[in-house]
Structure formats: structure tokens, C-alpha cells
Amino acid sequence: MNVVLFHIGRNGLPEYQEDCFAQYRLFNPDLKTYFLTDKYLLEDSLFKKYDIQPMDKNDFHSSKIDHFITFFKHGRLLSPYQFWIVTALRLIYIENFMKSMKLKDVYHFENDVLIYRNISTINDKFQELYPRMAITPGGPDKCITGFMYIHDFAPLSKMTEFFVEMLRKYGKPNLMKMYGMDMVNEMTLMRAFSKEYPDDLQFLPILPFGEWSTNFEEFGSLFDPASYGQFIGGSAQDKIPGLMPSDHYIGQYMRSHPEVKMGWMSWDHLRVPFVIYDGVAYDINNLHIHSKNLHLYKSK
């Protein structure tokens, strides 16, 4: 098993990248971790400090990447560094990387995510429960990489091929109508794929009961797409805690059940988040901190 992270951009690593690395290593000190990025960033001192293996993403370029950029644009030229291009392209780069390196059982999450669990302790559960891929569902029209598991490159390749083919065949405006998307990005494309191929992209438990709790009993804990993180710290725009997005499954539930609370407890002298419902506290394995203030929510 391995963790594969990703970042490209002209302005260096995000300011909060060290918070992500430091928190991750508190709970996963030895897990082999790769970071696909631009060549000019490979010597950044953070990689050595946190024992992260940087890799030049250009070594894993492919024609599918070029095709995706071509079909993704609509009416204007898009830069490969434009945000929604990058967020989708990372999945193709990770696919190519996994294939080239012959990796299996890969975990991926975004760089504004804090991890509160030793992933190795639940790897057997992922292998048992998810034969292809699993992800945190965001809402009716989006899947979010707050946490993602990929058994091998084949299902990821199938998904990214779906992206390219659907864009080629229908174009962005028609895709939005077909799947009820507010915009076309990697989140809505993944949700469309999950509707067409539910066995290839399954869902992680985000609530301890109801439709979005599948496999909660097996894990005994929850995963955050981006909803608990926004409730804790707000959005990148306003950074006001208590946000409950109406287009998120978790946000919808918390709006209708104000008795649901979030808090923190100490586990082996480390602060970890939990959600309380009906007097019971449920661990949360990760928080997707949309506000980017990761330093406020680290375990120590």
C-alpha cells in the first residue's frame, strides 16, 4: 500500500502543505508516500523533512492528458495550470504513475486534508470491502477526494477514459444537462461515473446511519468529503465555522438535525475530531479543511 499526493502550479507548494504533511506523519510515520509535482519543486526541503518521495509529474504524461485538455475547453483556450484542469488531470497522472510503478492499494487525498488515522490499520478493510475504488461522496452531483482508495490502475483508467469520452461525445453544456451538474469539473465527472458504474466507484461511510453509512459498522468511523471540515472551519471565502452546504449530504442532514454536534477528544495525547449523535461519539478519520487554516485543527 502507498499514498500518492499531487500538486502542480507556478507559485510553489501551498502555504498549508507542511501542516498537511506534519499531521499525516503523526499517524502514519512509515507509510511510503509519493508526491507528483512539477520538476522545479522536486528539491523542496519539505519532502526530505517528512520523508515524502517527490516525482516529476512530466515523467507520467500521456496522450489522454492532452485529449482531456482539448475536450475540456469550451469556447476558449484553457491553460494546463487552470484550477479545474489541474484537479481533473491529477487523476490521469496518478493513473499513469500507478501503472508505471505497478502500485496497488493506493490512497489519495487533497493537500488541504488532515489525517487522524493510521491508514495501515484499515487497509485490510479497504481490500475486503472495495475491490476497485472508493471515495467520499459529497452530494447528489459531486464526489470529493477528501479520501479515496484505488485498488489498482485499471478502474481509475476506466474512469478517466469515461471523462474523456463523455466530453468528446457530448461537450460540457450537454453533460451539465444530462447529469444535473452546476459545472463540469472532476467532482461532478466522478459523480456521473459513479452513477453509470456504481461497482467501480463505491462510497465510504460519511454518516453513522442511513443511506450514506454503508460499511460504517466495519470501519467504526467516518470519512469527510469536505463537509465536516467546512462545519469546523468555514469555507475558503468566509472562514466562518458552522457552514452546512445544502448541496452536501452531510450539510443537508445537519441542517435538519441540529442536535448533531462536532467536537474534539484526546487520543494518546493527540487531538482528534468526532461527531456526536444521540449521545454517541463517532471518530472522523480525516478533515477536509476548505478554509485552508489547517494549522488550527492539527492534533498537536
- Considering the domain boundaries, does residue 225 fall inside one? yes
Give the separation between CA 113 and CA 135, rounded to whole angstroms.
Answer: 14
| Pairing of the two strands 221-222 and 280-284 | parallel
Q: What pLDDT, on the 0 to 100 scale, is given for residue 248? A: 96
Of the three residues 203, 226, 241, the one that is the final residue of a domain is 203
Task: Verify that 179 and 236 share a domain, yes or no.
Answer: no
- Distance (Å) of CA 88 to CA 184, 186, 206: 10, 5, 23
3-class SS shares of the chain: helix, strand, coil, % to 5: 40, 20, 35
Give the separation between CA 240 and CA 152, rounded to whole angstroms.
Answer: 39
- Considering the domain boundaries, does residue 211 fall inside one? no
- Considering the domain boundaries, does residue 212 fall inside one? no
Phi, psi of 143 (to 5 degrees): -110, 145
- Distance (Å) of CA 236 to CA 21, 77, 90, 240: 20, 27, 21, 9
Q: Which residues of the chain have pLDDT under 50?
A: 75-77, 80
> Nearest 5 degrees, angle CA 21-CA 26-CA 27?
105
Task: Verify that 47 and 113 share a domain, yes or no.
Answer: yes
| Overall number of domains in the chain | 2
Q: What pLDDT, on the 0 to 100 scale, is given for residue 83? A: 76
Task: Verify that 196 and 242 share a domain, yes or no.
Answer: no
- Considering the domain boundaries, does residue 237 fall inside one? yes
Task: Verify that 115 and 140 share a domain, yes or no.
Answer: yes
- Considering the domain boundaries, does residue 208 fall inside one? no
Cβ contact 190:252 at 8 Å:
no
Task: Verify that 256 and 183 share a domain, yes or no.
Answer: no
Q: What pLDDT, on the 0 to 100 scale, is given for residue 79? A: 52
Task: Verify that 224 and 187 share a domain, yes or no.
Answer: no
Give the separation between CA 67 and CA 71, rounded to whole angstroms.
Answer: 6
Task: Verify that 189 and 291 share a domain, yes or no.
Answer: no
Task: Verify that 292 and 155 share a domain, yes or no.
Answer: no
- Domain holding 33, by residue range, is 2-203
User: CATH number, domain at 91?
Assistant: 3.90.550.20
Cβ contact 139:227 at 8 Å:
no
Task: Verify that 192 and 225 share a domain, yes or no.
Answer: no
Task: Verify that 130 and 8 share a domain, yes or no.
Answer: yes
- Considering the domain boundaries, does residue 196 fall inside one? yes
- Considering the domain boundaries, does residue 210 fall inside one? no
Of the three residues 170, 203, 236, the one that is the final residue of a domain is 203
Task: Verify that 186 and 255 share a domain, yes or no.
Answer: no
DSSP 150: E
Q: What pLDDT, on the 0 to 100 scale, is given for residue 77? A: 46
- Distance (Å) of CA 241 to CA 179, 234, 249, 255: 31, 4, 18, 14
Of the three residues 203, 228, 253, the one that is the final residue of a domain is 203
- 15: exposed, middle or buried (Cβ count in 10 Å: 0-12, 13-18, 19+): exposed
- Distance (Å) of CA 162 to CA 63, 78, 132, 176, 211: 15, 20, 15, 15, 26
Query: H helices then E strands: how many in the chain?
Result: 10, 13
Task: Verify that 40 and 114 share a domain, yes or no.
Answer: yes
pLDDT digits (tens, 9 = 90+) for 236-280: 888 899 999 999 999 999 999 888 889 999 988 999 999 998 889
